[in-house]
Amino acid sequence: MQIQSASFTKEGSIRVVFSGGLVRFVPPVAANRDRRKLAAWENQGNTIEPYVESPEDFPLSQMQFKAVLMSLGRTHGVTLDAIENAIDEMVPDPDQADLAKARLHYSSSYNRSHPLFDLLKGRMGLTDEDIDRTWMLARTIT
């Protein structure tokens, strides 16, 4: 099997994609058979891509999350009322809508991968890039 691409993971292992779509996670240990194949692949001029931080790696505190909402409010007109209205319109079960609003207001931490963001982004006129950029800025707030 031919190596198609390789990139480091957050944990330090190497995600290797082989021809045919097979994916393996290779430890950075020279004695590992797949790591030796990867070294030969690198010697042919290929490069293991570095790990790139992602918003999914950083849960936000409630304060950081509120800062995200305020920033998106300034740049895109997103308000808590607008989000609550969108939840009411998009979540037909009132109990589930109430749960979503409770999560919005009272969670102690917020994860970028939560499905609520995908549900709301189109309704709020946001792109993944808008949310990701603001999320990564908010994570630096202490």
79-99: per-residue pLDDT in tens? 888 889 989 998 999 999 999
Token pair recorded at residue 104: 């919005």
Question: What was the pLDDT predicted at 118?
Answer: 82
Cα-based torsion angle of the residue sequence 123, 129, 134, 137 in order, rounded to the nearest 10 degrees? 170
pLDDT digits (tens, 9 = 90+) for 112-127: 988 888 877 888 888 9
User: How would you classify the pairing of strands 60-61 and 23-26?
Assistant: unpaired
Token pair recorded at residue 16: 């290797």
Question: What was the pLDDT predicted at 57?
Answer: 83
Question: What was the pLDDT predicted at 1?
Answer: 79
Instruction: State how far the Cα of 111 lies from the Cα of 68, in Å rounded to an integer.
Output: 12
Question: What was the pLDDT predicted at 76?
Answer: 87
Low-confidence ranges of the chain (pLDDT < 50): none
Closest by CA position to 119, among listed 139, 102, 135, 97: 97
Q: Dmax of the chain from CA atoms?
A: 59
Question: What was the pLDDT predicted at 101?
Answer: 93
Question: What was the pLDDT predicted at 41?
Answer: 96
Question: What was the pLDDT predicted at 123?
Answer: 83
Question: What was the pLDDT predicted at 14?
Answer: 96
Instruction: State how far the Cα of 101 lies from the Cα of 113, in Å rounded to an integer.
Output: 17
